[in-house]
Chain A
Amino acid sequence: MRKPFHYPLADSDSLPRLREQLLQHLPFESAPPETYQVHYYDSFDWRLFQANKVLAWQQQNADSQLCLLNTGDDSTRTAIRLEHQPPRFAEELPQGQLRQELDDLLGLRAFLPVASIETRSLACQWIDKEGKTRLRLYLEHHKLVQPGGKRSTLCKQIRVAPLQGYAKAAKRVTSILEKELALCPGDGDLLSQALVSMHRVPGNYSSKLNIPLEPELRADAAMRRILLTLLEAMEINEAGTIANLDTEFLHDFRVAVRRTRSALGQMKSVYPPATLARFRDKFAWLGSITSPTRDLDVYLLKFENYRNQLPGNLQADLKPLRAFLNRHHEQEQIRLSGALKTAAYRQLKNQWRRYLTAPLPQRPAAGDARKPIGEVGPRRTWRMYKRVLREGQAITPASPAEALHDLRKSCKKLRYLMEFFQHLYPAKQIRALIKELKGLQENLGDFQDLEVQIHTLKQYSEQMKQEGDMTPRTELAMEFLLMSLETRMQEVRGIFESRFEQFACKSNETRFRGLFNPSQV
Chain B
Amino acid sequence: MKPDSEVYLTRARSEDNTMKVIACYNIKGGVGKTASAVNLAYLSAREGNSTLVWDLDPQGASSFYFRIKPKVKGGAQGLLRRKRVLDDVIKATDYDRLDLIPADFSYRNMDLTLERFRKSSTRLRKLIEPVQSDYDYLFLDCPPNISLVSENVFEAADVMLVPTIPTTLSIRTLYQLLRFCDKRKYKHLDILPFFSMVDRRKILHRGMLEDPPRTRSGFLTSDIPYSSEVEQMGVKRAPLATYAHNSRIADAYRSLWRELNSRMDHPSA
CB distance from B159 to the nearest CB of A (A): 21
8 A-B pairs within 8 Å (CB atoms) are namely: A58-B3, A65-B7, A74-B1, A78-B10, A79-B48, A80-B11, A119-B2, A190-B1
| A36 close to B (CB within 8 Å) | yes
Stretch of A156-164, A326-334, A337-345, A386-394 with 4 or more beta carbons under 8 angstroms from chain B: A156-164
Q: Does B84 contact A (CB under 8 A)?
A: no
B10 and A96 form a contact (CB under 8 A):
yes
Would you give the 0/1 interface string for B162-179, flagging 1 where the beta carbon is closer than 8 Å to chain A?
Answer: 000000000000000000
Task: Using A67-B7, A80-B9, A81-B9 as known contacts, list a sample of 15 further A-B pairs with CB atoms less than 8 Å apart, ordered by residue number in A.
Answer: A1-B92, A4-B6, A36-B2, A74-B1, A76-B7, A78-B8, A79-B7, A79-B48, A96-B13, A97-B13, A130-B68, A130-B69, A132-B66, A161-B6, A166-B91
- Assess the B92–A166 pair: CB atoms within 8 A: yes
Bound-state CA distance A419–B15 (Å) is: 43
Contact B237 A65 (CB under 8 A): no
* Cβ distance A308 to chain B, nearest Cβ, rounded Å: 21
A131 to B238, CA, bound (A): 11
Residue B89 interfacial (CB < 8 Å): yes
The answer on a CB contact under 8 Å between A1 and B2 is no
Flag if A159 contacts B92 (CB, 8 Å): no
Asked whether any CB of chain B lies closer than 8 Å to the CB of A165, the reply is yes
Known: A132-B67, A163-B92. Contact between A79 and B8, CB under 8 A? yes
Known: A79-B9, A81-B48, A97-B10. A58 touches B67 (CB 8 A): no
Identify which of residues 1-32 in chain B touch chain A, using a CB-to-CB cut-off of 8 Å.
1-11, 13, 17
B residues in contact with A131, CB < 8 Å: 67, 237
Q: What is the minimal beta-carbon distance from B114 to any residue of chain A, in angstroms?
A: 24
B5 near A161: Cβ-Cβ < 8 Å: yes
Query: What is the interface size of chain A, counting residues whose CB is below 8 A from a CB of the partner?
Result: 38
Residue of A nearest to B4 (CB): A63
In the complex, A370 Cα to B214 Cα: how many Å?
A: 92
A317 CB to closest chain B CB (Å) equals: 30
Assess whether A106 is interfacial by the CB under 8 Å rule: no
- Residue among B1, B13, B69 with the most chain A CB within 10 A? B1
Contact A1 B1 (CB under 8 A): no
Write out the residue numbers on chain A whose beta carbons fall within 8 Å of the beta carbon of B11: 80-81, 94, 96
Q: B36 at the A/B interface (Cβ < 8 Å)? A: no
Contact, CB under 8 Å: B2 / A132: no
CA distance A36 to B1 in the complex (A): 10
Kindly provide the distance from the CB of B161 to the nearest chain A CB, expressed in whole angstroms: 25
In the complex, chain B residues whose CB is within 8 Å of the CB of A74: 1, 6
User: Given B3, B10, B91, B237, which contacts A165 in the complex, CB threshold below 8 Å?
Assistant: B91
- A321 vs chain B, min Cβ distance (A): 32
Q: How near does chain A come to B53, taking the closest CB pair, in angstroms?
A: 13
* 1/0 contact string of A83-115 vs chain B (CB within 8 Å): 000000000001011100000000000000000
Convert A171-198 into 0s and 1s, putting 1 for each residue whose CB lies closer than 8 angstroms to a CB of B: 0000000000000000000100000000
- Are A65 and B3 in touch, CB under 8 angstroms? yes
Interface pairs A-B: 3 shortest CB-CB: A165-B91, A163-B92, A132-B67
Residues of B within 8 A of A138 (CB): 2
**Minimum CB–CB distance for B241 against chain A, Å:** 15
CB closest residue in chain A, given B96 = A1
CB distance from B25 to the nearest CB of A (A): 25
Known contacts A1-B6, A63-B4; is A164 also within 8 Å of B67 by CB? Answer: no
B190 contacts the other chain (CB 8 A): no
A257: chain B residues at CB < 8 Å are none
Would A130 and B67 count as touching, CB distance under 8 A?
yes
Give Cα distance in the complex from A74 to B7, angstroms: 8
Give every chain B residue within 8 A of A78 (Cβ-Cβ): 8, 10
> Which residues of A, 9-66, contact B by the 8 Å Cβ criterion?
36, 38, 56, 58, 60, 63, 65
- In chain A, positions 311-351 with a C-beta closer than 8 Å to chain B are none
Is B99 interfacial (CB 8 A cutoff)? yes
A121–B2 CB distance below 8 A: yes
- Whether B10 pairs with A79 at a CB distance below 8 angstroms is yes
A136: chain B residues within 8 A (beta carbon)? 5
Chain B residue contacts of A76, Cβ below 8 A: 7-8
Chain A residues proximal to chain B, CB less than 8 Å? 1, 4, 36, 38, 56, 58, 60, 63, 65, 67, 69, 74-81, 94, 96-98, 119, 121, 130-133, 136, 138, 159, 161, 163-166, 190
By a beta-carbon cutoff of 8 Å, the part of chain B in contact with chain A is: 1-11, 13, 17, 48, 50, 66-69, 89-92, 94, 99, 237
* A223→B8 CA distance, assembly (Å): 51
Query: A133 CA to B10 CA in the complex, in Å?
Result: 24
- A65 touching B8 in the complex, CB below 8 Å, given contacts A38-B1, A60-B3, A166-B92: no
CB distance from B80 to the nearest CB of A (A): 19
A34 CA / B2 CA spacing, docked (Å): 11
Q: How far is the CB of A136 from chain B (nearest CB, A)?
A: 6
Of A4, A78, A80, most B-chain CB atoms within 10 Å: A78
B10: which A residues are within 8 A, CB to CB?
Answer: 77-79, 96-98
The residue of chain A having its C-beta at the shortest distance from the C-beta of B97 within the complex is A1
Residues from chain B with a CB closer than 8 A to the CB of A163 are 91-92
Contacts of B237 in A (CB 8 A): 130-131
Minimum CB distance partner of B87 in chain A: A164
A63 to B9, CA, bound (A): 12
Inter-chain CA distance A102–B67, complex, in Å, is 38
Q: Assuming the A-B contacts A65-B9, A75-B6, are A58 and B90 also in contact, with contact meaning beta carbons closer than 8 angstroms in the complex?
A: no
- A383 CA / B164 CA spacing, docked (Å): 83
Give the chain A neighbours of B1 by CB distance below 8 A: 38, 56, 58, 67, 69, 74, 190
Provide the residues of chain A in CB contact with B7, threshold 8 Å.
58, 65, 67, 76, 79
Complex-state Cα separation, A60 to B13, whole angstroms = 24
CA distance A165 to B3 in the complex (A): 21
**B3: A residues at CB distance < 8 A:** 36, 58, 60, 63, 65
User: In the bound complex, what is the Cα–Cα distance between A74 and B99 (angstroms)?
Assistant: 19
Q: Residue B99 contacts which of A77, A96, A164 (CB distance < 8 angstroms)?
A: A164
**B94 contacts which of A77, A98, A133, A159 (Cβ < 8 Å)?**
A133
- By a CB distance below 8 angstroms, the chain A residues around B8 are 1, 76-79
User: Which of the listed residues B2, B17, B48 has the most CB atoms from chain A within 10 Å of its own CB?
Assistant: B2
- How far does the Cβ of A19 sit from chain B's closest Cβ, in whole Å? 16
Shortest B144–chain A CB gap in Å is 25
Instruction: With CB as the reference atom, state the residue of chain A lying closest to B68.
Output: A132
Complex-state Cα separation, A78 to B13, whole angstroms: 10
Check if A165 sits within 8 Å of B48, measured CB to CB.
no
Q: Which chain B residue shows the least CB distance to A61?
A: B3
Instruction: Please give, as numbers and ranges, the residues of chain A lying within 8 Å of B94 by CB-CB distance.
Output: 132-133
Q: In angstroms, how far is the closest chain B Cβ from the Cβ of A411?
A: 41
Contacts of A69 in B (CB 8 A): 1
Which residues of B sit under 8 angstroms from A77, Cβ to Cβ?
Answer: 8, 10, 50
A5 CA to B100 CA in the complex, in Å? 23
Q: Residues of A contacting B50 with CB < 8 Å?
A: 77
Q: How far is the CA of A81 from the CA of B49 in the complex (A)?
A: 12
Closest to A128 in B: B67
Separation of A190 and B4 alpha carbons in the complex (Å): 18
Q: Which residues of B contact A132 (CB under 8 A)?
A: 66-68, 94
Are A164 and B69 interface neighbours, CB within 8 A? no
